[in-house]
């Protein structure tokens, strides 16, 4: 049986220079009109977004494309959907293709959601009568009953994603291409989409899925393809490819930490230097905001803030999942305080707050009013999923911030394990079978 998707030695070049990109494009178009074959030689400022990629998929196959941002995943998907011209190679899509790549792509913003449903269906050969028979299912799945007659340009990104996914999966695709578009939806709707994708798999729909969510990749896709700088680094069963990819990320993080240590004390471990006089003298917001909340400069109150992470007696910023961790903190109070407290806020690199350890629950801080403070937090089992994390530390006098900033960044290594959530809870269980 012939494969439903054939991708053979595909290349795509781009230029980092916008003017050069336009010039090269005009030149390539001219050569194409003359019937000349495009050259794969890189010109000045050019790079391969996709470099000699090949794979085949049968009906019902599911393939995840994984890799860092800029690795070529979305470019590959757009070429498969015919949105981008190949520089070399061949792509054959033997079936009806539905794609969810860009938010609102294919929709007319001035038209209502209902009108866009009919227009999208007509483009794929559905008669008005055929569309009318499924339109209620589409609206119900998208959960847009109140807004279906409103212009799509008034929709939020999440609403556009809902409508786009609902239309795509109800137009009987043979091949479904999905980029990270579902990341903008809420968790409940995302799970609903995953359930529908599972149903499509059972109907032998071929799915190509781009995602940074490893648990979704492993759950939804039989196979995975890891792209790095446009090249295939690994292809095969999704679990094995994800483990290989994680191993690469961990090795890269260790190299980065080694380079930082070779240059001297990591920035996050240095005592903070005194702010220039132009900065506020009082403990006011510095005007900076981050994914982890506001940054407060409080150098008239606090100085020499330090934080180290210790595992097995060694300072480190690369920590294996389920390690016993000690967080050692020190800082100097320059003024008297009445009600001192400090909090360690553990954030995922994308800003999600995973845990907060507050000293306000400990009476031992109640008698501290000045001086240099040292304290240590012992975490017997660090259960954060593999990835990058940040510790944001507020220091306060009662409800008044004295200082608030990032004190440490660290990386949790998988140790060969796959974590399906934001944490992997330490647990025990028993099994019992009762005879009838």
Residues 239 and 290 in one domain: no
Residues 317 and 235 in one domain: no
Long-range contacts of 134-141 (CB under 8 A, 24+ apart): 134/170, 137/170, 138/166, 138/167, 138/170, 139/113, 139/114, 139/166, 141/165, 141/166, 141/169, 141/170, 141/192, 141/196
Residues 311 and 384 in one domain: yes
Residues 367 and 294 in one domain: yes
3-class DSSP assignment, residue 1: coil
Q: Of 97, 419, 56, 53, which Cα lies nearest the Cα of 223? A: 56
Residues 236 and 305 in one domain: no
- Asked if residue 259 belongs to a domain, the reply is no
- Asked if residue 26 belongs to a domain, the reply is yes
Extended beta strands in 244-352, E state: 285-290, 293-296, 302-311, 314-315, 318-320, 325-333, 340-348
> Which domain does 157 fall in, by range?
5-250
Residues 167 and 75 in one domain: yes
- Asked if residue 62 belongs to a domain, the reply is yes
Cα separation of 23 and 133, whole Å?
49
- Asked if residue 422 belongs to a domain, the reply is no
Residue 418: Cβ within 10 Å count: 17
- Asked if residue 110 belongs to a domain, the reply is yes
CATH number of the structural domain spanning residue 185: 3.40.50.300
Is 145's pLDDT higher than 90?
no
Extended beta strands in 179-247, E state: 206-210, 223-228, 231-237
Q: What is the token pair recorded at 159?
A: 């609403």
Q: Of 225, 221, 245, which Cα lies nearest the Cα of 235? A: 225
- Asked if residue 420 belongs to a domain, the reply is no
Is 320's pLDDT higher than 50?
yes
Return the ∠ at Cα 78 (arms to 75 and 80), rounded to 5°.
Answer: 110
- Helix ranges (H only) for 210-272 are 214-220, 238-263
Residues 117 and 212 in one domain: yes
Residues 227 and 279 in one domain: no
Residues 238 and 334 in one domain: no
Flag the least confident range among 104-108, 120-124, 143-147, 404-408. 104-108
First to last CA, the chain: 47
Is 264's pLDDT higher than 60?
no
CA dihedral in degrees (105, 109, 112, 116; nearest 10)?
-30
Is 138's pLDDT higher than 80?
yes
Residue 3: Cβ within 10 Å count: 15
Q: What is the token pair recorded at 267?
A: 């920035």
Residue 121: Cβ within 10 Å count: 21
pLDDT, tens digit, 9 for 90 and up, residues 188-246? 888 888 889 999 999 999 999 998 888 889 888 999 999 999 999 999 999 899 889 98
pLDDT at 192: 87
pLDDT, tens digit, 9 for 90 and up, residues 78-107? 999 999 999 999 999 999 999 888 766 778
Q: How confident is the model at residue 344 (pLDDT cuts 50, 70, 90)?
A: very high
3-class DSSP assignment, residue 26: helix
356 vs 24, residue with greater confidence: 356
pLDDT at 277: 32
- Asked if residue 424 belongs to a domain, the reply is no
Is 269's pLDDT higher than 60?
no
Q: What is the mean pLDDT of the chain?
A: 85
Counting Cα atoms < 13 Å in the Cβ hemisphere of 77 gives 27
Question: Domain tally for the chain?
Answer: 2
Residues 95 and 222 in one domain: yes
pTM over 0.75: no
Question: What's the chain's length in residues?
Answer: 436
Is 4's pLDDT higher than 90?
yes
Residue 41: Cβ within 10 Å count: 7
Return the H-helix or E-strand segment holding 174.
Answer: none
pLDDT at 363: 66
- Asked if residue 210 belongs to a domain, the reply is yes
pLDDT at 322: 92
Residues 205 and 124 in one domain: yes
CATH number of the structural domain spanning residue 339: 2.70.50.60
Residues 302 and 182 in one domain: no
The distance from CA 103 to its chain's CA centroid, rounded to whole angstroms, is: 16
Is 275's pLDDT higher than 50?
no
Is 182's pLDDT higher than 90?
no
pLDDT, tens digit, 9 for 90 and up, residues 62-76? 999 999 999 999 999
pLDDT, tens digit, 9 for 90 and up, residues 16-73? 888 888 888 888 888 888 888 878 888 898 999 999 999 999 999 999 999 999 999 9
């Amino acid at each position: 049986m012939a494969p439903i998707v054939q991708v053979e030695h595909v290349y795509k070049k781009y230029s980092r220079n916008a003017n050069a990109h336009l010039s090269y494009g005009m030149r390539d178009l001219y050569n194409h009109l003359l019937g000349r074959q495009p050259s794969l030689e890189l010109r000045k400022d050019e790079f391969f977004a996709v470099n000699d990629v090949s794979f085949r998929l049968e009906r019902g196959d599911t393939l995840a494309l994984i890799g860092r941002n800029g690795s070529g995943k979305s470019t590959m998907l757009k070429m498969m959907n015919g949105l981008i011209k190949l520089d070399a190679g061949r792509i054959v899509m033997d079936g009806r293709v539905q794609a969810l790549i860009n938010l609102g792509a294919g929709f007319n913003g001035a038209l209502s959601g209902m009108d866009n449903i009919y227009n999208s269906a007509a483009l794929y050969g559905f008669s008005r009568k055929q569309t009318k028979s499924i339109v209620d299912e589409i609206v119900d799945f998208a959960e847009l009953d109140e807004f279906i007659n409103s212009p799509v340009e008034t929709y939020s990104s999440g609403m556009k994603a809902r409508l786009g996914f609902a239309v795509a999966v109800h137009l009987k695709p043979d091949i479904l291409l999905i980029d990270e578009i579902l990341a903008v939806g809420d968790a409940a709707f995302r799970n609903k989409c995953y359930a529908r994708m599972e149903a499509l798999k059972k109907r032998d729909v071929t799915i190509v899925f781009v995602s940074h969510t490893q648990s979704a990749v492993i759950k939804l896709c039989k196979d995975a393809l890891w792209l790095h700088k446009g090249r295939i680094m690994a292809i095969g069963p999704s679990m094995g490819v994800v483990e290989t990819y994680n191993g690469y990320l961990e090795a890269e993080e260790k190299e980065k930490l080694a380079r930082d240590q070779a240059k001297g004390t990591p920035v996050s471990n240095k005592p903070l230097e005194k702010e220039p006089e132009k900065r506020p003298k009082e403990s006011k917001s510095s005007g900076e905001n981050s994914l982890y909340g506001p940054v407060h400069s409080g150098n008239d109150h606090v100085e020499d803030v330090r934080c180290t992470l210790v595992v097995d007696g060694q300072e480190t910023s690369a920590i294996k999942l389920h390690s016993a961790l000690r967080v050692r903190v020190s800082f100097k109070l320059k003024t008297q305080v009445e009600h001192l407290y400090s909090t360690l806020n553990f954030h995922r690199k994308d800003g999600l707050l995973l845990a907060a350890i507050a000293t306000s629950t400990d009476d031992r801080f109640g008698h501290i009013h000045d001086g240099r403070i040292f304290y240590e937090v012992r975490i017997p089992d660090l259960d954060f999923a593999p990835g990058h994390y940040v510790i944001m530390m507020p220091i306060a006098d009662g409800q008044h911030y004295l200082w608030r900033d990032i004190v440490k960044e660290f990386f949790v290594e998988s140790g060969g394990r796959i974590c399906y959530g934001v944490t992997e809870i330490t647990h025990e269980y028993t099994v019992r079978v009762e005879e009838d």
